[in-house]
Amino acid sequence: MSETPMPIWEVFVRARAGLAHRHAGSVHAADAEMALQAARDTYTRRGEGLSLWVVPSAAITASDPADRDSLFEPTADKIYRHPTFYEVPDDVGHM
């Protein structure tokens, strides 16, 4: 392939004020400004968002799925982190 690859950007869309930006997909663009325009045309044709983020895909560091157990498993047995672990008599009422 003789053509220079066009950089890839991850797109995040805030659907409305009060919500977090959420990953929508990716676009290819030469720079951030063009990535924003492409993201707008690709992911918000029907009022899906009020705000966009574009992030160079290479800038994202992800956890390795192979580490899933060692990273997330230890929380499974810490049931004392949940309110239902504690016994409060019914007479106390809602707490």
Residues of the shown chain interacting with another protein in the complex, contacts defined by CB under 8 A: 1, 3-6, 8, 25-31, 34, 41-42, 45-46, 62, 64-66
User: Distances in Å between the alpha carbon of 15 and those of 5, 25, 43, 60, 92?
Assistant: 30, 14, 11, 22, 41
CB of 6 to another protein, least distance (A): 6
**In this complex, which beta carbon is closest to another protein, that of residue 8 or of residue 19?**
8
Closer CB to another protein, 5 or 93, in the complex: 5
Query: Under a CB-based contact definition with an 8 Å cutoff, are residues 7 and 29 in contact?
Result: yes
